[in-house]
Structure formats: C-alpha cells, structure tokens
Chains A and B, each alone.
Chain A
Amino acid sequence: MNLRGAITIVALLLSGAGVLWAGTDGLQVLTAEGARRLTIEEKPKPLPVVLLRDQRGEAFRLQDFEGSNLLVEFIYTRCVTLCTSLGVTFEQVNRELPKNALGNKVNMVSISFDPRDSTSDLSDYGDRFDAVPDHWRIARVENADELKLLLDTFGITVIPDQWGNFEHNAAVHFVDQNGYLNRIVDHDPATRTLETLWKRL
C-alpha cells in the first residue's frame, strides 16, 4: 500500500469516528429521548403560557408555580401501563415529602394529552393515587394548538395505536423556581425522582 492509500484511510477513519462521536454527543446519547434530556440539561427552556384546567375544573397556568419546584408528567387517564407507574411515582413523592414542603416548595402537575379526558376522568385518575388538588393537579389543555405547543416544548411524542391507546415517552420533568424546564429523569424507580428533588430543596 502506498502513502496516499494510507493517508486516505487514516483520514477517513478519523472523520468517520468524528461524525459518530458528534452524532452521539461523545457516545452519551444513542436515542432521541437521550438527546432530549441532555439538551434540556445543557440549555434549560422556558415554558409557553397555556391555559390548563385541573380535576376541580379550575383554570391555571404552569407559570403560577414560579418560586416553587414544579414536577410535570404527561399522561392519559385510560392508560393502564406507563401512566400508572407515572402516577405511582408522584404518589410516592406525595407520601415521602414533608407535608409543609408540598404545595409550597414542591408542586406536581400530571397533564393529559388525550382529548377524550373530561374533568371527571381527571378527578377519577387523581383519586386512584390519592392526589390532593392543592399540590398535585391532574390537568388537561382545552385548546388543541396550545396542547401541541406544550408537547413540542417538552419534547413529548404521542402516537396512537390501533386499540385506542397511546404510546408516549414517559419521564418526570423538573421545572425550576424561575419557570425553566431544566431536568428530565426516568419516572421508574421513583427514588430517582426523589433524589433529584431532595437536591433542590
């Protein structure tokens, strides 16, 4: 093999490895979900102003919780798999956190992306997990455009399957006291959410 051949091969190996390194953020990220989490950590995002309505029918905005830590997850009430474990995680936070922190230093919102969910569906879902509406709201977004904007900001992809269910990326989203989404962690096991939360209190 001549020199030119050797140089070509070395150059290709280096640039190929470089592309793969960049494409995985230094071998850290293989999935779009991983990329979403890393991007948020590196560049926290402000939330759009959208109108939500909770299980009591009360209107509110995510900005209302500025000054406290806000935990957000996305669900649909007919879900029996992922959303149940999402609910269990918030239920655990609800149980483990000191009573005076809840509603004050920590608030939780479960947002439904299913247009079928009514106020009473939300309320039933809340009852399944002993949600106290004062610090754990189960909410829906009435305006379809606002819902899309919210899902896009959080990076939630929802795909309907053929049985009337949805598949969606599930995680617990941390919004800091200034209203910036800046951390996304696995909802299972719940200890991961609790550990992340403890560091912020």
Chain B
Amino acid sequence: MEATMTFFRRMHLSFDHPYIKTGIGIALIALLALPVCRSLLESSLINHMLIQIPLLALAGWLIGRGMFSSLFQKWNERGIPGLLIAIFAMLFWMIPRWLDTALSEPLWEVIKFITTPLLIGVPLAISWPRMSSFTRAVVWTNAISMLVVVGWLYVAAPIRVCNNYLVNQQESFGYTAMMVALGIALYWVGVVFFGKWDKAE
C-alpha cells in the first residue's frame, strides 16, 4: 500500500487524476464481466439488482468523472438532460422482462454491460455537479420513495416476475430494497439533525 502511494506520488498521479478514474472504471467493468463474477452476482436477484447493476453504474460514474466531465455541457443545462437519460435507462433495466432477457440472451447481457455504465453512470457523473441543491434533493427523495414502492411491489407481487429467479428471491429482494431505502432516509435524517450546515451553498 505504502509503495503504491509512493509510486503514485512520484508519477504525479492521484485518484483524482482523470486517467486513473477512467482506468478504475474500465477495470471495474472488466472485473464484473469475468464469468466467475457474473455467475456470483447474477445467481440471485438481490446481487443482480443491488450489487451488479449499481457497480456497473459506479464504473460509468468514474469514467464520466474522468473523461467526459466537460463534454456535452452545452447540451446539459443544469444537468437536467443528463439526469433524464439516467432515469430512463434505470427505468428500462427495472423492467423484469429485460433483466430476464439479459440472463437468457448473451446479446442483451452485452447491452446491459454497455448501457448501464454509459447511460446511467456517465450522465449522472457529468450532470451531478451542474445540478442545483434542489434538484439533488429531489433525486434523493425520489430514490427513497422509488425503492420503497419497487420493494413493496416485489414483496406483494402475486406472480413470479422473473423466469430466471425463484419466487422467494423476489420477496427477499423486495425487503432488501426497502431496507436500502430506510438506510438512505436515516442517513439524510442524520445529516439534517447532526450535519454541519455552516457552509452556505
């Protein structure tokens, strides 16, 4: 670890260096694409929806921060267009049909590995700094309510929504999604009550 840090310092590299971020993002995608990681993360609905896809989006975020942070900004007023792209891409991958198809058809698996970083992570990364605090707050609160609604739907669904997953996984995914929503909500409650607000934005 020490040696790596020294190497980084000597090469004038840091995690904030655009190439490093991009490199980590691409490496993360490559890692997730390894057969062993895929079978591990796609064997259950929870791992697939709450670990693999968010990590792919995170990889896109790193790539976006690294390489594209100044691109398209003429077309990205207040970050709203980028946010819209990310929201539509997220909605698409939340349709059980396509998550199922990604598992049964290799072409759709490739499409998932490309579109999740490129259409969720990258646009969020280049838009987030341009959004007003109000927009950011709307994104957070909507993320909380969306996770609760999706979770509740999965728990209450009378049918099996994914042919590739067992029904009990559907239910546990639902509860986990609601727990994640609760976690985010509690975090923000903590920030509101105990956070430092001396810095006016």
Interface residues of A (CB under 8 A from B): 1-2, 4-5, 8-9, 12-13, 15-16, 19-20, 23-24, 29-35, 157, 159, 161, 167, 169
Closest to A156 in B: B163
Q: Does B162 contact A (CB under 8 A)?
A: yes
Bound together, the chains give a CA A167 to CA B163 distance in angstroms of 9
Complex contacts, A8 vs chain B, CB 8 Å: 75, 77, 81
The answer to whether residues A4 and B167 also contact, given A30-B95, A32-B101, A33-B159 and a CB cut-off of 8 A, is: no
Bound together, the chains give a CA A7 to CA B159 distance in angstroms of 41
Complex contacts, B77 vs chain A, CB 8 Å: 1-2, 4-5, 8
The answer to whether residues A159 and B95 also contact, given A4-B75, A12-B81 and a CB cut-off of 8 A, is: no
Bound together, the chains give a CA A19 to CA B115 distance in angstroms of 13
Of B84, B87, B166, B167, which contacts A9 at CB under 8 A? B84
Bound together, the chains give a CA A167 to CA B161 distance in angstroms of 13
Of A4, A5, A31, which contacts B162 at CB under 8 A? A31
Is the CB–CB distance between A32 and B162 below 8 Å? yes
Complex contacts, A2 vs chain B, CB 8 Å: 77
Known contacts A30-B95, A33-B159, A159-B166; 12 further A-B pairs (Cβ under 8 A): A1-B77, A8-B75, A12-B85, A13-B84, A23-B92, A23-B97, A23-B98, A32-B100, A32-B162, A33-B163, A159-B165, A161-B166
Bound together, the chains give a CA A41 to CA B118 distance in angstroms of 35
Q: Mark B56-84, 1 if CB is under 8 A from A, else 0.
A: 00000000000000000011011011001
Closest 4 CB pairs of A and B: A16-B88, A32-B100, A157-B163, A5-B77
Q: Does B96 contact A (CB under 8 A)?
A: yes
Q: Does B91 contact A (CB under 8 A)?
A: yes
Q: Does B48 contact A (CB under 8 A)?
A: no
Is the CB–CB distance between A169 and B81 below 8 Å? no
Of B75, B96, B166, which contacts A32 at CB under 8 A? B96
Interface residues of B (CB under 8 A from A): 74-75, 77-78, 80-81, 84-85, 87-88, 91-92, 95-98, 100-101, 104, 159-167
Main secondary structure of the interface of B (DSSP, over half): helix
Complex contacts, A157 vs chain B, CB 8 Å: 104, 163-164
Is the CB–CB distance between B160 and A24 below 8 Å? no
Main secondary structure of the interface of A (DSSP, over half): helix
Is the CB–CB distance between A31 and B88 below 8 Å? no
Bound together, the chains give a CA A167 to CA B95 distance in angstroms of 21
A7 to chain B, nearest CB (A): 10
Is the CB–CB distance between A12 and B163 below 8 Å? no
B96 to chain A, nearest CB (A): 5
Is the CB–CB distance between B97 and A35 below 8 Å? yes
Complex contacts, A9 vs chain B, CB 8 Å: 80-81, 84
The answer to whether residues A31 and B159 also contact, given A9-B84, A19-B88, A20-B92 and a CB cut-off of 8 A, is: yes
Of B95, B100, B164, which contacts A24 at CB under 8 A? B95
Q: List 14 A-B contacts (CB under 8 A).
A: A5-B78, A9-B81, A20-B88, A23-B98, A24-B95, A30-B95, A31-B96, A32-B96, A32-B100, A35-B97, A157-B163, A161-B166, A167-B167, A169-B163
Is the CB–CB distance between A30 and B96 below 8 Å? yes
Bound together, the chains give a CA A196 to CA B96 distance in angstroms of 27
Complex contacts, A29 vs chain B, CB 8 Å: 97
Closest to A29 in B: B97
Closest to A157 in B: B163
Bound together, the chains give a CA A29 to CA B161 distance in angstroms of 11
